[in-house]
Amino acid sequence: MNSAPISRLSWVLAGVGVALSACVALSGSSSFSNFAYLAATVQIVVFLAISAKFNKPDRLLWPALFVIATASTIAQILDNNLDTASLQAVPESLFLVVQITLAGGLLLIIRRRIGNDPLSVLGDGLIVALGSWFLIWVIFLQPTFDASTSSVVVTGIQGATLAFSSVVLFSLATLLFGDADRTPAVWLIAGAITFTLLGDFLYAANDSGRVELDEQFINAAYVLCLFLCSAAFVHQSISTITEHGSVRTQRPLLGRLIVTTAALTIPVVVLALTEAADSVDRTVRAVSVFVLTIAVTARVIHAVRTNASMQRTLIHSAQTDALTGLPNRSLMLSHVQNALEFAEQDQRHPTVLFIDVDRFKNINDSLGHQAGDNVLVAVAQRLRNALPQRCIVGRISGDEFVILDPGTRGASDAMIVADTILNSFNEPLSLRQGDVFVSTSIGVATFQKGISATADDLLRHADTAMYRAKDAGRNCVAIFDESMLERVTQRLSVETALYRALERRELRLVHQPIVDVELGDVVGFEALMRWTRDDGSIISPAEFIPIAEETGTIVPIGAWALLEALTHLRGWINEGICSREATMSVNVSPRQLHDPNFVPVVHEALLRSHIAPEQLWLEVTEGVMIAQPDQALETLTKLCAIGVRIAIDDFGTGYSSLSLLQKFPIQRLKIDRSFVHGVADDLGARSLVRTIIAMGDSLGLDMVAEGVESVRQLQALAELRCAKAQGYLISHPVPPESIGSTVASLTQFGEWSKLRGRNPR
């Protein structure tokens, strides 16, 4: 038998207990009531044995369970069969043992399940227990001592049993108030304890003469208690009853507040509305209320201190970096603002140094994020050790740190601090993964009245200077000046306008013909992008293309340019301006190659323009083959599979490598203009171009020379047997509507012969 059927049996037992207790209460038969009580006592022994075999609860609970079951059974038998009042102390003593053992078992359970805030839970449980004790004394115990006809010993034992009920209530309240998840076993045990306490209170009320109850009503509560106890131990969750388990996401704070408030206010109301019966009653009341007051006061003090500590913790968490323990951005801004407020009166110029760890992404990618975190912690420690105590070090995000030096008096002092930082990283960082060398790029901004009005301004200026240090080659320092701010403002303006440029039709394409060097025929075109803003200003591609690449807008812009260029080619072919085999070259950025939708975009553009795939040349730079080569290779291979051809643009200026040319599906090399410029006069350049052409021929690659600007360059390329060329000598980039006249002038053999420096036939 597995645990699932056993757990289902627990709910059957709970249902049987409810039905049997109802029958006992309604039967009116004392003998049936006593029989049912005895049967319920016996069944708990049976199901405890079943639970021990299948659910295996905590072994520490078994002695307590054995004592409770044995003492309860014997007490019930003796209570029903002893007629002598002098012997009545025996079953009452056994009931007291049951109550003491129950309280001890509950205390064992709550010790392990009490959760992360034990003092508050114990405090609330103590308030509930003390309030309950006061009511037990006033309602049950004190009247029992006055009205009881039993011996003093029996009455004392009954009073002790009721007194321990407050301990049981304390344990029950603590169990339910804790933050551990309340499993079905916990709820069933809570129900069993509730009904046994109800039976005890009904018995005491009946014994004190306050109410007249038939015995079956009292026994009904005990019967249900015993069946619920069996149900709890049969359920599989009983095996984790002494474990803390998972924590509830929502703690029962409102329920705790209601119960503890009631435990405090009800005794006060009872105390105000009733008079003490005698001096003993008066003393017990006074002591009980005094202890309750102390417990409430201690709980309030603990709550206030806990709340204050939590607020301090939250404030600290909100203002510090969790990884390094350094101040975060908000706290650093506060420190900088405080330094600026005292800058003028102290004749100081506070300095902010913005530090970025160079190539930190490489560390994460190669060694893992755990190593990256270790590097950041080591960098933070290195900065703290290297700088004077007046400096405040903060980490504002990722691998970016900020240092505030409130004591500098000018740029020279700031540079001393910056050089100290650079020198501190000459030694490697010792990590668990091994020694790691890191360098930093530092931007420096010193407070200048009228330029850095706020802390945010100073931090932003230092950030701007840091990017200038990055551009200068990393591992260096850049000091902010106003010209940097102008460039940043201009860049932001361009970046903002670029998002709407395509929508506003501000972007356009111009085309530069590519010709056969020997024949002069126009064999293709290269599409080049231009941007004229609404205000008439022209933005250079060298300025906006890198921004588009960085922001990701190159993806939609590139998709538009591809379709637009192929549509132009289809129109020229249909108009007879160029041959039907003419090609179109379109530049592609690394960002586009890494876009998973790029291949479908190319395929759709070919379909919509009705251009054959082999008439499309996609030009990429050599850097594409270095940065994330696997992803680039996958995309280029898919493009070649549909017939598109790939060209290396600006060949020779990047990471030229024969192994890369063999690995990647390349069909064309475009010789960079920097080599073509000296091909006519510079022997070194001429030799290099000859080598590139020979290499391309040996690999079966098509060759195109870029940037041809003179007849002598064109002649030299012809002598070196370069197949194709483009440049200002042949044609400037022209708008689509001017392509017809441009191609017509180039295809006249006499005109081409003049360009080649030959006499026409």
How do residues 559-580 score in pLDDT, each as one tens digit?
999 999 999 999 999 999 999 9
Please list the alpha-helical segments (H only) found in 368-443: 369-386, 411-424
Would you say residue 656 has pLDDT above 70?
Answer: no
How does residue 352 score in pLDDT terms, banded at 50, 70 and 90?
A: very high
- CATH code, 329-480: 3.30.70.270
Using 50, 70 and 90 to split pLDDT, how confident is the model at 279? confident
In three-state secondary structure terms, 359 is: coil
What is the pLDDT at residue 727? 94
Angle, helix 749-756 to helix 711-719, in steps of 10 degrees? 90
pLDDT in tens, 229-239: 888 878 877 77
331-346 b/e (C-beta count within 10 Å ≥ 16 → b): bbbebbeebbeebeee
**Secondary structure tally for the chain: helices H, strands E:** 29, 16
pLDDT at residue 13, as a whole number? 85
Nearest Cα to 102, choosing from 225, 223, 215? 225
Nearest to 48 by CA among 70, 75, 22: 70
Burial class of residue 671, CB neighbours in 10 A (0-12, 13-18, 19+): buried
Cα distances (Å, whole numbers) of residue 199 to 160, 203, 219: 15, 6, 7
User: Tell me: the pLDDT tens digits for 12-48?
Assistant: 888 888 898 888 888 877 788 888 888 887 887 787 7
- Residue 412, pLDDT score: 83
Q: How much of the chain, in percent, has pLDDT values that exceed 90? A: 27
The pLDDT of residue 1: 45
When pLDDT is averaged across residues 455-467 and rounded to a whole number, the result is 89
Average pLDDT, the chain: 82
Q: How confident is the model at residue 754 (pLDDT cuts 50, 70, 90)?
A: low
Domain 493-756 architecture: Alpha-Beta Barrel (3.20)
| Whole-number pLDDT of residue 549 | 87
pLDDT digits (tens, 9 = 90+) for 147-202: 554 555 666 676 666 666 666 666 666 666 666 667 787 788 788 778 877 777 77
- Look at 141-155, 292-306, 351-365, 403-417 and tell me which has the smallest mean pLDDT: 141-155
| pLDDT tens-digit map of 79-124 | 666 555 556 677 777 777 777 777 676 666 666 666 566 677 677 7
